[in-house]
Amino acid sequence: MITKKNISVVLGTRPEIIKLAGVIRLLGAEGEVVYTGQHSDADLSSSFFESFHLRKPDLRLTGIGGAPRGAQISHAIAQLSEHFMATRPRLVVVQGDTNATSAGAQAANYCDIPVLHVEAGLRSHDRSMPEEINRRVVAVLSAMNCAPTVRSAENLASEGISPARIRITGNTVVEALKESLPSQEDSLKVINDYGLRDNEFVMATIHRPENTDDEIRLSVILDELSKIPLPVLFPIHPRTAIRADSFGLEGKIKRLLYSPPLDHPTFLALASHARLIISDSGGIQEECTVLKKPLIVVRENTERPEACEAGFATLVKAGSDISAQAFRLLEDMELSRSLETLPCPFGDGKASERIADIALSMASGEVPPYSEFGDLSNSSVR
């Protein structure tokens, strides 16, 4: 019989809250939530606990949000190690590739506690990305890697991770989106509140360092967005707002329909009625395949090639190509209909159940179950 709080779920950002909410609820009294506060802005963090009907975190770390990457990870490791030594959970669960993910896995390892990594095996093969380093470090430290797709499982196997430490579960984003997506009636009300018309606007988000920390690149991206012949709704991430202000680019932002950050249901309501989405977000690359919307990915590379290969996403490496690609997609009158027929490559909406079952089994000292969803049996990688 598992005692209370034997599973510690460590998270620190909005996407982690969204993607782990279903797992946390299924763990129930067996799990605790430790929030590092990597996203210190309430609009990007605390409100999301409420949106997904989650209790307040059992522990909230201090001194993390806004600190440099090295300080975030080191401060989090110190606080998490102290907490884990005092409470001795049987398992630590982390998700994705954030600094909170890396810190949680390292602290657990130092305390000799097994780690379960959700959304394991994604690879951009670009070591200049902090996220790439984080997810590679966590893969080595994890006792169990829950890979969302066969490709991500193959990535892990090719790096020498034993198949016994890999389970293919699907991605929890599928059920998270379906839970958060407002009804058609409520969604139409949202777009009306923003003065927009169904299928006659573009949704854009930009926040990654490769786009926001380079003045010329950010300027070009904003110019390209302003060339699009439909209204462009631009919820502005705090990081982007700070960089734009420091570069003197506020005037270029004002040419767009900019807004503060959005909660998840509001974002999905708008995205579900946009004609086109433009973003550098990893999560939106997954969400567009559930919403059946075309996406322009403003990145040098992507760790989610499945969205591109399935036909939902187009990778644009040069910011100056955004408007040209947008024109091409907007002029394709059959695109929307064809996307509706394509299956989502990220799962069937049961990933949270599979991951919770694996976590509970590990906390009980049992061998985690394999999933009928997929394994490496048909893979060329062994």
**Whole-number Å distance between alpha carbons of 59 and 83:** 9
**Known catalytic membership, residue 207:** yes
Nearest to 34 by CA among 15, 8, 16: 8
**Whole-number Å distance between alpha carbons of 342 and 245:** 41
281: enclosing H helix or E strand: none
Catalytic residue among 39, 83, 207, 264: 207
- Cα 206 to its chain centre, rounded Å, is 14
Quick check: helix, strand or coil at residue 342?
coil
Are the C-beta atoms of 319 and 138 separated by less than 8 Å?
no
Nearest to 351 by CA among 329, 333, 372: 372
- 62-66, long-range: CB < 8 A, 24+ apart: 62/37, 64/12, 64/36, 64/37, 64/38, 64/40, 64/100, 65/37, 65/38, 65/39, 65/40, 65/41, 66/40
Nearest to 301 by CA among 322, 327, 280: 280
Measured CA to CA in angstroms, residue 21 lies from 25, 27, 300 at distances of 6, 10, 30
Instruction: Please give the positions annotated as active site.
Output: 207
